């Protein structure tokens, strides 16, 4: 039996683009994990459509497709083409789990939530000719002894960050606009530290990225993990919450174990916004001090900001840029508030009748798809382009990057990679 797993490309937005050298960014672990969960009597192929076209002349017994909300139109297009050729298609992932009935108009079966506990059953049902429409695990799976993603099925040359892994799942927080808790549930799960260390040793590489949503979500676990990473002499990055600045030992171990950078969701400088999105534990007042502490520990920060929240008006872009320059934030990611299906934000904006565009292709957090409160949709879109361009002007890059010699290479690489995206955006006169 042949299984073809496909990750679609997205032809809109700034994040999923392949680089000029034709490489995709980070290896996403979903399909390599599904491959690892597939019994040995199946022949498995993974096709990352970001870097390779789909060959519809092949004859797999099953096609499995996943994708973020912004990729889902292309996922559906691929699914439709396979079904036109008589091939069964199963879909899963964050978007499909939130919108299973929509997905079922394009495929034969959906996996709702994590696939670990239901995937083998789906394959058995297919073989026996009794494929059901919906497969939903009744509980979250444990992380002990979890399947190691089949990286051997990927072409290493096609990715700029090949070694990615997961030590934890979920996040102890529950921010309204975030799909993490909606998908992974409220439980923050951790993998045995020794399992993580073994997987890293198997990389035979000195640099990797934790795909975790919050690597410091449980401080005690993070400290144990970081302590065991120290002898490996590796370099790594992850997403983390700014709460780590409150724990000196955690910060020290993060840096000492090779943690060179952290993606941190600052989201908004307005405490009112943070409170409203249930991110009140992120204290806007304490941001400057926390950033300074993380910098002093030797860790670069890529801060993430969301615009279009209810307390934002057109001044938010200039205020945020001033903050980035004053704190010498190493890099910043900007997002327009996007009501991803399955999130609290989606439910609220839907009830308030403020969702103005349901073209999922635009749900890549760089286009306005809802009616903001404190400014027009046009002002929000223009402000997003403006702050991106200002932050990644040469003057800004140099001023922030040269704050210290330590970690300079990482800072410059990150800034020039974001600058490429900024240069693709339209100029905004008058801002
Ligand atoms: S802290 Fe980050 S990952 Fe956790 S729920 Fe909030 S936005 Fe999502």
pLDDT in tens, 54-75: 999 999 999 999 999 999 999 9
Say how many Å lie between the CA of residue 21 and the centre of ligand 1: 32
Q: CA 234, CA 26: separation in Å to the nearest integer?
A: 18
- 8 Å CB contact between 428 and 382: yes
Does domain 258-337+372-431 fall into CATH 3.10.20.90?
no
pLDDT of residue 20: 65
Helix or strand or coil: residue 425?
A: coil
Q: Which of 159, 152, 191, 143 is nearest to 28 (CA)?
A: 159
Query: Ligand 1 in contact with 177 (CB < 6 A)?
Result: no
pLDDT of residue 89: 98
Q: What is the DSSP string of 223-252?
A: HHHHHHHGGGT-EEEEEE-GGGGG-HHHHH
Annotated domain spans of the chain: 2-136, 258-337+372-431
Ligand 1 atom with the smallest distance to the CA of 178 is: 8
pLDDT of residue 186: 73
Q: CA 401, CA 410: separation in Å to the nearest integer?
A: 9
pLDDT of residue 284: 85
Query: Ligand 1 in contact with 266 (CB < 6 A)?
Result: no
Q: Which of 172, 185, 211, 265 to mutate to test the pocket of ligand 1 (most atoms within 8 A of CB)?
A: 265
Number of H helices, E strands in the chain: 16, 16
Say how many Å lie between the CA of residue 133 and the centre of ligand 1: 31
pLDDT of residue 140: 87
Query: Ligand 1 in contact with 214 (CB < 6 A)?
Result: yes
pLDDT of residue 431: 61
Could you tell me the CA-to-CA distances from 174 to 171, 247, 271 in Å, in that order?
7, 21, 16
- 8 Å CB contact between 350 and 404: no
| Per-residue DSSP letter, 79 | H
Could you tell me the CA-to-CA distances from 95 to 86, 112, 134, 179 in Å, in that order?
24, 9, 14, 9
CATH architecture of 2-136: 3-Layer(aba) Sandwich (3.40)
Query: Ligand 1 in contact with 174 (CB < 6 A)?
Result: yes
Q: How many CB atoms lie within 10 A of CB 25?
A: 17
Q: Characterize the bridge pairing of strands 189-190 and 168-169.
A: antiparallel
Ligand 1 atom with the smallest distance to the CA of 282 is: 1
Query: Ligand 1 in contact with 75 (CB < 6 A)?
Result: no
**pLDDT by 10s per residue, the chain, length 431:** 999 999 998 878 776 666 666 788 889 999 999 999 999 999 999 999 988 999 999 999 999 999 999 999 999 999 999 999 999 999 999 999 999 999 999 999 999 999 999 999 999 999 999 999 999 988 888 899 999 999 999 999 888 899 999 999 988 788 888 888 777 777 899 999 999 999 999 999 999 999 999 999 999 999 999 999 999 999 999 999 999 999 999 999 999 999 999 999 999 999 999 999 888 778 888 999 999 999 999 999 999 999 999 999 999 999 999 999 999 999 999 999 999 999 999 999 999 999 999 999 999 999 999 999 999 999 999 999 999 999 999 999 999 999 999 889 989 999 999 999 999 999 987 66
Query: Ligand 1 in contact with 171 (CB < 6 A)?
Result: yes
Q: Characterize the bridge pairing of strands 24-26 and 300-307.
A: unpaired
Query: Ligand 1 in contact with 241 (CB < 6 A)?
Result: yes
SS3 sequence of 299-330: CEEEEEEEECCCCCCCCHHHHHHHHHHHHCCC
Query: Ligand 1 in contact with 238 (CB < 6 A)?
Result: no
Query: Ligand 1 in contact with 282 (CB < 6 A)?
Result: no
Helix or strand or coil: residue 109?
A: strand
């Amino acid at each position: 039996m042949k299984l073809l797993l496909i990750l679609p490309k997205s032809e809109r937005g700034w994040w999923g683009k392949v680089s000029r050298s034709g490489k995709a960014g980070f290896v996403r672990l979903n399909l390599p994990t599904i491959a690892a969960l597939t019994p040995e009597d199946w022949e498995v192929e993974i096709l990352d459509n970001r870097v390779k076209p789909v060959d519809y002349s092949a004859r797999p017994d099953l096609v499995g497709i996943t994708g973020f909300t912004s990729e889902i139109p292309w996922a559906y297009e691929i699914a439709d083409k396979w079904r036109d050729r008589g091939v069964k298609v199963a879909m899963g992932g964050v978007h499909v789990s939130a919108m299973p009935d929509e997905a079922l108009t394009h495929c034969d079966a959906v996996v709702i939530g994590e696939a670990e506990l239901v995937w083998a059953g789906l394959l058995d049902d297919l073989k026996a000719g009794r494929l059901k429409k919906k497969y939903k695990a009744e509980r979250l799976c444990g992380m002990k002894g979890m399947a190691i993603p089949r990286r051997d099925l990927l072409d290493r040359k096609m990715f700029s960050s090949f070694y990615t892994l997961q030590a934890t799942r979920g996040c102890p927080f529950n921010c309204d606009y975030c799909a993490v808790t909606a998908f992974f549930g409220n439980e923050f799960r951790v993998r045995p530290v020794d399992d993580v260390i073994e997987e890293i040793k198997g990389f035979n590489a000195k640099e990797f990225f934790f795909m975790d949503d919050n690597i410091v979500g449980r401080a005690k676990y993070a400290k144990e993990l970081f302590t065991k990473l120290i002898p490996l002499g590796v370099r790594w990055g992850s997403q983390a919450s700014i709460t780590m600045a409150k724990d000196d030992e955690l910060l020290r171990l993060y840096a000492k174990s090779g943690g060179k950078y952290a993606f941190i969701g600052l989201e908004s400088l307005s405490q009112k916004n943070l409170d409203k999105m249930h991110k009140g534990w992120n204290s806007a007042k304490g941001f400057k001090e926390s950033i300074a502490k993380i910098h002093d520990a030797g860790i670069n920060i890529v801060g993430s900001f969301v615009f279009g929240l209810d307390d934002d008006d057109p001044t938010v872009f200039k205020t945020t840029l001033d903050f980035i320059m004053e704190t010498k934030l190493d890099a910043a990611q900007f997002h327009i508030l996007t009501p991803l299906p399955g999130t609290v934000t989606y439910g609220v904006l839907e009830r308030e009748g403020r969702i103005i565009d349901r073209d999922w292709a635009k749900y890549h957090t760089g286009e306005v798809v809802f009616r903001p409160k404190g400014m027009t949709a046009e002002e929000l879109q223009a402000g997003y382009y403006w702050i991106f361009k200002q932050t990644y002007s040469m003057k800004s890059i140099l001023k922030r990057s040269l704050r210290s010699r330590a970690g300079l290479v990482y800072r410059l690489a990150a800034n020039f990679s974001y600058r490429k995206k900024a240069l693709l955006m339209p100029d905004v006169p008058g801002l």
